[in-house]
Structure formats: structure tokens, C-alpha cells
A and B are shown apart, each in its own frame.
Chain A
Amino acid sequence: MGAENTVNNNEYVLQMHNIVKEFGELKALDDVSLSVKQGETVAIIGPSGSGKSTLLRCVNRLVTISSGQILLSGEELARTDSQGRVIYPPESKMRKLCANTGMVFQHFNLFPHMNCLQNISYAPIKVKGVEPAKARERARELLKLVGLSDKEKVYPGQISGGQKQRIAIARGLAMEPQIMLFDEPTSALDPEITGEVLAVIRRLAEQKTTMLIVTHEMGFAREVADRVVFMDNGMIIEEGPPEQIFNNPKCERLQSFLSAVLS
């Protein structure tokens, strides 16, 4: 949607070229390039500390890059000039660009002083200027989508972790982003309730929502992703369709990683 109008490479919602991120001496990301097409679901897997969360956080500027280029729906979020300096657009432009992404965090980060409906409708009203009544109506639809219509007036402190994460997904979707970013959405949850969250994400995949998911759930990645990316030491080591990654891993590091997590 709308992507057809952009001039270059309109097929891609997200393009990241040669991303480097240094934390002092440490290179968290080392020349990483990754693009996500409209309607595609990409899962990033890899051992902890491999840079997968950092990469995801570069997309909406929670982490600023050290060099490289990022395009969101063809519009430039970050580029590197000839002197090697990274240039971001002015604050207001950048906020607008980042609002085209929706993010779901490992620890939910819901606003505890707002009820579930307010959590979902707050940003559309404040950022997009949606009429409050309309925003609430849309929020109720999203609550229905994540199966929590009865929690409208309830505060985040009063619901379970799985329910919190489903509200967080609804909150991200409320901004009608072009891409949803998931940062290990189930790793803070008890194993028996990860299912309800994964079910919601699965439904989004079926609806062809563009998604970039960092996850530890291999079974889920295999089932839901169109493409799986394996990262280690701040680099993308291997990528491809799930069957290839899980059934026919080429490089040794991926093989040993899979045998470790799947055993």
C-alpha cells in the first residue's frame, strides 16, 4: 500500500545496507545488509550476543548506527556521507519515519498508568492526530484481533504476561506501520503461555503483515517465516527459506547452533 508510489525499489519496505555498529571497541554489527519485502515475514535467529536485537533496534533508531544506510519504504532514515559521518534527518522527520514501524519488546513496556484501550489509542491520537472516538473504535477492533475484547478497561498490572504481550502487539499495530518489529516477543514468558502470543503473530503472517522477528523459538520461525536469517558475531552468516536453513544448513556454525538449540 502506498509503496507503489515511491520511486526506487518500492517492493522493499526495509533496506539496510552495510550497517556497522560499534560500542567502543566492540563491533556489535559488522557490515550487515538486510532487506525486507512488502508482505514478507523474516525471522532472525542466532546465539545471544550475536547482534540480532541490535540490528532490529537500528530500524527505528533505538540504536544509532556507526555507518551504513537505512531506507524505510524507500525513504532515507540514515546515510553515511563521503567523510564517513552518519546523517539522520531532523528530529520531526525522523519521528515520522520511525512511526512507520511498530515495535514489540521482550518486556512488553506497556504504559502502566493507562488501561489497555488507552495504551493502544494514545499514540494514534497524539502522533497521528486521529480523532479520539475513531482511535478508540480502531483500538477495540485490534483488541478483538488479539482476543482481548474484555480487557478494555483493565490496567496492564492486572493481566498476565501473555495478555500483556498481545496488548503490546495491538499497540504497535494501531499506528498502522509498514513493518512490525518483534524483539524476542516470547522470551520473557512462561513456556505454557507463549502459544497465545505466537498464535497472534501467526495470524498476522497469514494476513501478509510485513514483519521482522528476532526469536529463540525455532519451531515457530520455521513455521511462520518466509525467510530465516542466521546471525553470529555481528554478521549474517547464512540466510534462506526455512526448509533450507533448518533441513540443509550449509555452514558449520549454523549446524552447531541448531544442534545445540534443537537437542
Chain B
Amino acid sequence: MEQVYQFFINLFNALAAELQYAKVLMPSLMQGLIVTLKIFILTLVMSLPLGLPFALGSNSRRVIIRIPCRVYIWLFRGTPLMLQLFFFYFFLPIVTGIKLDGFTTAVFTFVLNYAAYFAEIYRGGIESIDRGQYEAAQSLGLSRTQTLFGIIIPQMIKRVLPPISNETITLVKDTALVSVIAVGELIRVARGAVNRDVKVTAFVIAAIIYLILTFVLTLLSNHLEKRFSRHEAQ
């Protein structure tokens, strides 16, 4: 009986100490979280629209538009994101003398990378729209632009929402990669704390923060999908 009692006392004390330590860690982890969120939001806000012209371009009838778009998508989807970060961070200054700081490089690379993924998703979405929609639009005298923006893209958005939310959740976790160019995002800050204090608590807290982020994103995407499928049959 005494032993059981003692076990719980010890457990409680250990837990209290961990919480105390977590409290000390929080301010710097929050700093890292802000960097992570900045990269995430900037990337999303810019790459989502940027993907569209590349999606349309890669289906263009004109070779001089189609080939560059396809090559761009192929390059950025076909190489590891980490190498792209290295390329823009190190080789650009060596070759061209253009020296972007770590954060700018991170956002720049992520936007280009994710725009390529989004472009492929959009392209698939556009191709999945029934030919009849184009025929109906043409028979009503709608121009190509009107057809694209009024008929095709609104329908495409609904279809691409699930893959887009998937990519978005991947993006949150991909931001951890920018620690290779020494940007102080969440993982790097956590690693610093682990190194300094020789305790893994900071990694555990980081994992919980990522879980919360992806949970919120999942809720958000479910909400959006529901909103966009309100036209469906009951």
C-alpha cells in the first residue's frame, strides 16, 4: 500500500517538474511556431493562385507555353524539396550573386514547389470536368474566359478540395525542412532546446503543436468540403 502511494507521489512530482520545464520552454517554442506559421500561410496564399496559370499553361495548345509549364512542374515535383532549398540558398549566391536570406528563400522555394503540386491537382480537376459543360457553354455563346472562370473553375474547386487539403497538411509538416537552411522554425528551436538541456521534452511539445495544427486544418477542410457539396443530391 505504502509503495503504491509512493509511486503516485513520485509520478505526480515528475509530472509537475515536466510541466514546470515545459512552461520555461514555451516562449521560445512559440517564437518557432510563429516562423512556422508565417512560412505556412505565405506559401499557401501565394502558391494556391500561382498553381492555376501553370495548370492552364500545361494544357495550352501553344507549345511555347505548354513545354515551359510542363518542365517547371516536372522539375519541382521531381526533385526533393530539400535539394531545392539548398539550390536557392547556396547555389544561387555562388552562381549569380543573388543572396536571399533564409526566410525569404524558404518561402520562395516553398511557393514554387507547392504551386507545381497545386498545378497538377488543378489540371486533373479541370480534365475531370465533363465535355458537355464546355459544349453547353459554347452553345450559349460564352467566351473561353467566361467558360473557364464561370463554369469550369468553380466546379473544379469542389473536386480538388480533398487533394488540396491533403497537400496543405503535408505543407505544415514540410515546413520543418527549412531547418536545413537554418531558419529558426519550430523544429529547429525544439532541437536547440533538446541539445541545450539534453531532454526530449521539447520534441514532444513540438509534436503536440503539429497535431493541433493539423487537427484545426482537418476541421477547416471538412467544413469547406461540406460547403462546396451543398449542391449535391440529398
Contact = CB atoms under 8 A, between A and B. Distances in A.
B130 A122 contact: no
A62 B138 contact: yes
Contacts of A127: 140-142, 146
B141 A109 contact: no
B133 A109 contact: yes
Contact of B142 (A123, A156, A157): A123
A122 B150 contact: yes
B136 A111 contact: yes
A203 interface: no
Interface string B118-133: 0000000000001011
Contacts of B158: 113
Given A109-B133, A158-B233, A103 B142 contact: no
Contact of B139 (A62, A110, A111, A112): A62
B6 interface: no
Given A105-B132, A113-B158, A126-B146, A60 B151 contact: no
Contacts of B28: none
B136 A126 contact: no
Given A105-B135, A105-B136, A157-B231, A111 B151 contact: yes
A101 B154 CA distance: 26
Contact of A109 (B130, B142, B230): B130
Nearest to B158: A113
Contacts of B135: 62, 103, 105, 109
Contact of B234 (A103, A105, A107, A158): A158
B3 interface: no
A112 B158 CA distance: 11
B141 A123 contact: yes
Contacts of B151: 111
Interface residues of B, number: 22
B143 A95 contact: yes
B232 interface: yes
B49 to A, nearest CB: 19
B146 A112 contact: no
Nearest to A106: B132
B5 to A, nearest CB: 64
A39 interface: no
Contacts of A95: 141-143
Contacts of A101: 139
Contacts of A156: 231
B155 interface: yes
Contacts of B234: 158
A98 interface: yes
B84 to A, nearest CB: 36
B230 to A, nearest CB: 8
A245 interface: no
A99 B140 contact: yes
Interface string B212-234: 00000000000000000011111
Contact of A102 (B130, B139, B155): B139
A95 B139 CA distance: 9
B233 A175 contact: no
A113 B141 CA distance: 19
Nearest to B131: A109
Given A96-B141, A98-B141, A158-B233, A113 B136 contact: no
Given A105-B132, A157-B232, A113 B140 contact: no
B132 A98 contact: no
A123 B140 contact: yes
A113 B108 CA distance: 34
Given A156-B231, A158-B231, A171-B140, 5 more contacts: A62-B135, A98-B138, A109-B132, A111-B136, A172-B139
Query: What 4 pairs between A and B have smallest CB-CB spacing?
Result: A99-B141, A109-B132, A123-B140, A109-B136
28 contacts: A62-B135, A95-B143, A99-B140, A99-B141, A103-B135, A103-B136, A109-B130, A109-B132, A110-B136, A111-B136, A111-B151, A111-B155, A112-B155, A113-B155, A113-B158, A122-B140, A123-B142, A126-B146, A127-B141, A127-B142, A127-B146, A156-B231, A157-B232, A157-B233, A158-B231, A158-B234, A172-B140, A175-B141
